[in-house]
Amino acid sequence: MKTKLAIILFLLMSLLTACNFAKSSPTAIPSLPTTPLPFPTSLPTDEPPPVIVITPSTTPSLVDQTVIDRASEVIQVLKDQDFITLSTYIHPVDGLRVSPYAFVSDSDVVLSADEVADILADSRSFTWGLYSGSGESISLSFMGYYSQFIYDVDFANAPEMALNHRLGVSTSMDNIFEFYPSAKMVEFYFPGFDPQFDGMDWRSLRLVFTQHDSIWYLVGIVHDQWTT
């Protein structure tokens, strides 16, 4: 009898142990996918992504863009020899000063808007300054001066353009911003034409603007090239 009771107790204890083990066992582990999960191409870092700052040189201000647009219009008008339209861009008080080289002088010829509008009918010779090197007087009609010192190359298609910065550098002193302290200048620049001259045959045309009654008017045309 005792033996039979011991067997029953043993079976009950075994059954209870099995039940407790089943309750504490975790759920079945899922099988791994047959295709591996994609690995990220870049791991996260504590540093933020770089911020690209747009500088004023790459994004002109509204005023600078206005001047650039005006200069682009003027250079096309000069190419077309449309001097009536050109006269509408000229400063109504200061007129248009034309300088054959980088140095702007009080003795440079100044033309009014009305004079420019009728310039094709004016055959007079003007003394525009002195030739660099020889020192001889530059005595030419307006169209003669235009051909040598305004539109001697196709500046409307110049490969380089700058705002308030001189691209062509010669022995002539550049005093634009001393002469026109409140001006903005747009330069149209050819770095050269014939490789044998190693860039010494460069040409520049600088258009100078000052503001009057909230409008940017043309006050100066400055031609520049290599001088000796």
Q: Give 75's pLDDT tier (boundaries 50, 70, 90).
A: very high
Tokens of 117: 């509008």
Q: Please list, in sequence order, all residues whose beta carbon lies within 8 angstroms of the beta carbon of residue 105, skipping any fewer than 6 positions away.
A: 99, 129
- Model confidence pLDDT, tens digit, residues 85-140: 999 999 999 999 999 999 999 999 999 999 999 999 999 999 999 999 899 999 99
Domain ranges in the chain? Answer: 62-225
Find where tokens 């705002």 sit.
163
Q: So what's the pLDDT on residue 108?
A: 98
Q: So what's the pLDDT on residue 94?
A: 98
Tokens of 180: 């026109």
- Model confidence pLDDT, tens digit, residues 52-72: 333 445 556 888 999 999 999
Q: So what's the pLDDT on residue 14?
A: 55
Q: So what's the pLDDT on residue 168?
A: 86
- Global pTM value: 0.74
Find where tokens 């003795």 sit.
107
187 neighbors 206 (Cβ within 8 angstroms) = yes
- Model confidence pLDDT, tens digit, residues 132-187: 989 999 999 999 999 999 999 999 999 999 999 999 887 788 999 999 999 999 99
Q: So what's the pLDDT on residue 66?
A: 95
Q: Please list, in sequence order, all residues whose beta carbon lies within 8 angstroms of the beta carbon of residue 162, skipping any fewer than 6 positions away.
A: 186, 187, 189
Out of 52-61, 79-88, 197-206, 209-218, pick the least confident.
Answer: 52-61
Q: So what's the pLDDT on residue 50?
A: 34
Return the CATH class of domain 62-225.
alpha beta
Tokens of 194: 């014939």
Tell whether the model's pLDDT for residue 19 goes beyond 70. no
Q: So what's the pLDDT on residue 58?
A: 53
